[in-house]
Amino acid sequence: MRRSIGLIAGSAKVKISGRRPELALNELSGDRLVFWGVRKTSDNEILLSIIGRDLKKAEAACNRASCAIIVLSKKGLPYILMRFKKRYVFYFAPVLSILIALYLSFFIWEIEITGNETVTEGEILTALEQVGVHIGTFGPKIDQEIVRSEVIALIGKLSWMTVNVYGCKAEVIVRERIDKPEIINESEPSEVRADKTGLITQINVYTGKPLVKKGDMVFSGQTLITGQLDSIGSGVRFVHAMGDVTARTWYKLSAGMPLEYITKRYTGENIERRSIMVGNIRVNLYFNAGISMVNYDKITTSERIHIGGFHLPVSLITTTYRAYEPIKAVFDTKEAEALLKSRLLKRLSDLGAKPTVLQYETTVDNGVITVVLNAECLEQIGVVSPLRVLPEPDDR
């Protein structure tokens, strides 16, 4: 029983020494102090256990018996708690961190957008912010129906969207509108015109009357197939002209560049600046923001901080400044020529032309290289256009 009390209230194991340590036991009993485990180790020494809070009274009792008391050890719940008392921060901090993490998990700290093709993420994020959804928004207050209708109203290219909230992450899924195909009104009179100058190599007429034939040279804007037909029974009638017209076309493109250019030679001098981004608030971890370099590249990286699978609203931003010296360099002529040729082919492809014959002319003059591309292509040149009524033939 006394041992149990000592465990809960705290106990101390002591050594009492003196000429007659038995007198000290009498004094302890006289003061009604609880002790147990008495063991005599010699004529002048006794070991025993006592309630921790009675140590001062026990010391006074031993002094009256002309004995000394020495505490050998302490144990029990009060001493365990006292040991932790000085380090309470280390035990309270994890609990506080968990509570903060749970609280922050109700806010949106990451927005992921999927399903967009022509509409940029920036447009969607801007629209979301206008309707109240952004980094730091309280997740439970997001009304999906309102957000969906308002964002679609702001971005006409979207036909559908949804916002799914998973903890501190908002997943935004969108679907873009599919443009309706142009409906051809075949009852509307029309004609097929040339949108480029070329030599006709093939013509297929589906409706209408051809005004040119294979081997004819035609010019941009010229009518190739007319929708104005002559009818013996009813005179002139008008139809929706349709057909494919393939022609040989020619392009002459040129591109040039100086052979001498400025490049960078890095000196090896680097400066790093770090900052912490908490939500939308940036805290710099440096004092001197000045950069003494004259020429430098600036590289910024952002690392999101997370604990396990939980993303914290905190990012470590590292900005690196790399110093360099501008130096002159000269392109190899063959490399410069190959670069210009690839650019010219890209321009030709952007025009929609498929070349059948390619010829290049390269010249170098006063440090500038110029490449001229002469291309012969085959392409469709007919486009449907509103009908231009032809004048009636003069029978006189």
Tell whether 6 is covered by a domain.
yes
Domain boundary at 155, 176, 197, which? 176
Per-residue pLDDT tens over the stretch 264-280 = 999 999 999 999 887 66
Tell whether 144 is covered by a domain.
yes
Tell whether 289 is covered by a domain.
yes
pLDDT, residue 5, reads 53
Give strand pairing partners of 306.
311
* Same domain for 340 and 302: no
pLDDT, residue 167, reads 75
Sheet holding 242-258, edge to edge: 217-218, 198-207, 242-258, 368-380, 354-365
Tell whether 321 is covered by a domain.
yes
* Same domain for 65 and 31: yes
List, as own/partner pairs, every contact residues 184-187 make where C-beta atoms lie below 8 angstroms and the sequence separation is at least 24, other chains included. 184/240, 184/384, 185/240, 186/240, 187/240
Q: What's the structural domain count of the chain? A: 4
* Same domain for 78 and 11: yes
Tell whether 272 is covered by a domain.
yes
Query: What is the rounded distance in angstroms from the CA atom of residue 138 to the CA atom of residue 101?
Result: 14
* Same domain for 335 and 318: no
Tell whether 199 is covered by a domain.
no
Q: How many CB atoms lie within 10 A of CB 344?
A: 20
Q: Is the pLDDT of residue 374 over 90?
A: yes
pLDDT, residue 212, reads 93
Residue 67 sits in a domain whose CATH number is 3.30.70.260
Residue 140 sits in a domain whose CATH number is 3.10.20.310
* Same domain for 55 and 25: yes
Tell whether 220 is covered by a domain.
no
Per-residue pLDDT tens over the stretch 223-260 = 999 988 887 766 788 889 999 999 999 999 999 999 99
Tell whether 41 is covered by a domain.
yes
* Same domain for 74 and 24: yes
pTM over 0.85: no
| 9 pLDDT tier (thresholds 50, 70, 90) | low
Q: Is the pLDDT of residue 181 over 90?
A: no
Query: What is the rounded distance in angstroms from the CA atom of residue 240 to the CA atom of residue 208?
Result: 7
Beta strand pairing call for 190-194 and 223-226: antiparallel
Q: Is the pLDDT of residue 395 over 80?
A: no
Average pLDDT over residues 143-151: 89
For residue 7, give its domain range. Answer: 2-82
* Same domain for 171 and 123: yes
* Same domain for 319 and 367: no
pLDDT, residue 396, reads 47
